[in-house]
Every structure is written in C-alpha cells, then in structure tokens.
Structure 1
Amino acid sequence: MEAANIELLAAFATLYESAKYSDLLVQCGDRSFPVHKAVVCSRSHFFDGACSHPWKESITGIIDLSEDDHEAVEHMIHYFYYLDYLRTPSLAKLSRPTSPTSSRRSSCEKRRPSDLVLAPAHAEDPLLAQAQAQAISSPDNSAPASPLSPSPHYRADYFSPDTKAPPTPDLDQTFDESLLDSYESDCEEDECDAFLQPPNLVVHAKVYAIAEKYGITGLKDLARSKFSAQAEHYWSSTEFADSIPEVYETTVDSDRGLRDVVIQSFREHPQLARSKDMELVVRDTPGLAWELFRLGWGLPVF
C-alpha cells in the first residue's frame, strides 16, 4: 500500500478513535456513535439525505437506528473509518511499512482465499477503491465461475429421501486448529487474520443486509466477499445453516448477492441435502426451498 493510502487510513482511524470534530450522532439502542458528516454522508445516500433535508435528523444532529441489528450498525460505522470490519488495525500497524515482494507475504497470498482481496474495479466506494488500488490481482486474471453453473459433482441420488442424513458437524469441529500453526508460521498477522477468523457467516449476512438498506456499495461487496470466502470452508458447519435465514429474509428476492453463494454451495456439496440441520432450515425458508426445487429439476435458479 502506498504511503499516501496508509496516511489516509491512519487519519480516519484517528478520527474514529478520538471522535474529534464529530458533528453527528448515530444512536442504536444504548450505544451512541459520534461520527462525521463528511465521512458518512459521502458514502451513503441515506445519511446524505438525512442530513441534507429539513428533517428531524438534520435539526437535532442525531440519527436513530435502534430498529436495526445493533451489531450490524456497529460494523457499518467501523467500516466507514477502517474500510473493513471484524478487525481493527492499530495506528502502529497502519504506519508500519510492508514489502509486497517479501517471501512471507507471497506464501500467505498463495494459501488464503483469493476473494478476500476486493478488486478495486468492483468497489464503488471511493475510499475503498483508493485503499485497494495496490491489491494483487489473480495471477491468471480468470473470471470467476458463474454461481449458477452446474457442478460436475452433482448427483441426483444425494437428494433421495431414502438416503440417511449424516449429522452436521459442530462449529468447533469444522474449524481446523492445525491451520493456525501453519499460517502463523509464515504469514504476517495483519495479512492473514481475515482467513484465520472463525466463521462469522451470520454476521456477514447481517452486514450485507444493512449495507444494502443504506446504500453502501463498498461494504456490501466486502460483506459478500467475506461470506463467500468463509462459506467455501465452513459450508458443513451449523453456522452456515444458521446464516441462510438471514440471507433469504433480510434482502429482496431479486438480490442474488448471497443467495448465489448459498446455491453454489449446494451445487458443489450435494451432501448438504442429507444434513438434518439443513433439512430444518429448508423447511423454514420457502425461498431456498423453491430454488432448490428448481435446481433439482435442472431449471435456472433466479
């Protein structure tokens, strides 16, 4: 990352941590977040409208988001200043020089999921685009496979009602602790900790929904990237099953961002249809049930 980008991120981190010059208060339940109009209004049409029109919010300088998920609101505010969430780099780390050609970084980039790096071409958030300008692109520059493309591993017998459903592994069982020793030995902490985090699929789904609600495109793209990366590794966990209602009930049906990730997981891992936990989720989620019905009959899912 260039020195100018590091300086910019460090400045925003200082504003967030000190609340200096804040001119707007975001309330959510018993939490209050002092923010800066210049930061939040330039990133969200909702905040811009709330502060630009003669409404209660612009007069009082307080925006009440208590009806939203409290955790998602906190992550949204955090993203405004750090261009990330679920991690808070210290000012010392932001100022620490990095060497893109170091062997430790090369090893880390080869082994962590490529979609943890958000390509600047897909980020409409101007600060996110600037901060990611130095991100390393995929070596072969190949386009990602369509989430609705048929999987070569698809087998119709997995959907047979006579097939016994295996138990879904617990979250602790699906998180391979041996990965920690392997990654920590050859990866910098701030470069690999995104992959080493335990599954937060429900959190990512909530952040995706609030980003869509308030028109924060960069955060929405980031949440989808994080959700997709962790779904790839934790598709058999109870956390993945728990995240599906969030995916299908917090956004409109036409929003395919996370729905396509879920459907692709079923394409790549048909054994999900034999999971007892997943059976309960499908029964309680009509949108997913309908899409899996179409998938089973070889019809397009959209």
Structure 2
Amino acid sequence: MLLHLQLWEVADKYLVPDLQALCTRRFKEAAEYYHSHPEMIDAILFVYENLSESAKDLRKVIVTIVYDSPILLEDAEIQEPVLYKELCDVVVLLANGRTDRPDPFEGKSQCFQRSNWPHVS
C-alpha cells in the first residue's frame, strides 16, 4: 500500500494527474482488501503527515476505510491529538449521513500543513 502512496507523491511532485488517479485507485483497492493489515496504520500516517493538501481523494479513501473498520482508531499511533480528532470528526459526519456539509477536506487543517515543499517554488 505504501508503494502506491509514494508513487502518488512523485506524481504530485511532477504534476502527473493521470498517475495520481491510478495510484489512488490502486491504493483504494489494496486498502479495501488489506484494511486489517498493520501496514494500514503506516498508510494512514503517511497520507496525513507526508502528502500535500491536494491528496483529498486519498484522505476520502482513508476515511471510508476507518468508517468501515473503526478498530483502526484504537491504534496508539493514530491517536495523535489533531490527527485523531480530524479523522473522528469526518467519520462521525459520514456515520450521521451529513451530506449538507461541503467537502470535509476543504480548507486547511493544522494537521495537514507542510512547512517545506521541495517541489514548489
């Protein structure tokens, strides 16, 4: 799963949207199958800590996986305060069927900000 995310990051860096879409689709397929695998925690952390704000589709996949497997929220690494709250808030909105709210990934979150983007001038 991490390979798809790392390749997505390279595609983001070099502005290759078709490759980003392919990586997102492949990650989603792998995550649905391996959601209980320990690597899923690493994938969640990678998406939220390393990828830019443009990774909205990947974050939506993560939220769907966490919604379907809430046991993932019990992992100690996931329970970092800002990340945990952000994931829980979006999962609760999804669980309550709130569709009137705009995209939950819109805007900037302190958790997702990156101080140094090597590929942005």
**2:88 match:** 292
CA contact (8 A) 2:66 2:91 kept: no
RMSD, aligned α-carbons = 2.2
Aligned partner of residue 257 in structure 1, secondary structure: helix
Deviations 1:117-167 (A, max 9, x none): xxxxxxxxxxxxxxxxxxxxxxxxxxxxxxxxxxxxxxxxxxxxxxxxxxx
- 1:280 lines up with 2:53 in the alignment: no
Counterpart CA distance in 2 for 1:216 and 1:254 is 13
- 1:228-275 per-position Cα deviation (integer Å, ceiling 9, x unaligned): 00000100111111111211122223531211111000122233334x
Consecutive unaligned residues of structure 2, counting only runs of 5 or more, are 106-121
Structure 1: runs of 5+ lacking an equivalent: 1-200
Determine helix, strand or coil for the equivalent of 2:76: helix
Size of the aligned set, in residue pairs, is: 98
* In 2: Cα distance, 1:258 partner to 1:219 partner: 13
Question: In the alignment, is residue 238 of structure 1 matched against residue 38 of structure 2?
Answer: yes
Identical aligned residues as a percent: 24
Letter in 2 for 1:290: E
Moved over 6 A (4+): none
Over residues 252-299 of structure 1, what are the superposed CA-to-partner deviations in whole Å (9 max), with x where a residue is unaligned? 23531211111000122233334xxxx222223734531323433646
**Structure 2 letter corresponding to 1:235:** H
Which residue does the alignment assign to 1:271? 71
The reply on whether 1:247 has 2:47 as its aligned counterpart is: yes
Could you say if the C-alpha distance between residues 252 and 219 of structure 1 is closer, same or farther in structure 2, counting changes exceeding 3 Å? Answer: same
User: Residues 31-55 of structure 1, C-alpha deviation per residue, up to 9 Å, x if partnerless?
Assistant: xxxxxxxxxxxxxxxxxxxxxxxxx
Give 1:215 deviation, angstroms. 0.3
Q: C-alpha offsets along residues 197-224 of structure 1, whole Å, 9 cap, x if unaligned?
A: xxxx111111111111110112111111
Give the structure 2 partner of residue 224 of structure 1. Answer: 24
**How far apart, CA to CA, are the structure 1 residues paired with 2:7 and 2:76?**
24
Alpha carbons of structure 1 residues 205 and 285: separation in structure 2 relative to 1, 3 Å: farther
Q: Which has the larger radius of gyration?
A: 1
AA at the equivalent of 2:23? A
Are 2:10 and 1:210 aligned?
A: yes
One-letter amino acid of the counterpart of residue 15, structure 2 = G
- Alpha-carbon contact 1:244-1:281 (below 8 Å) kept: no
TM-score of the pair, normalised by structure 1: 0.30
| TM-score scaled by length of structure 2 | 0.68
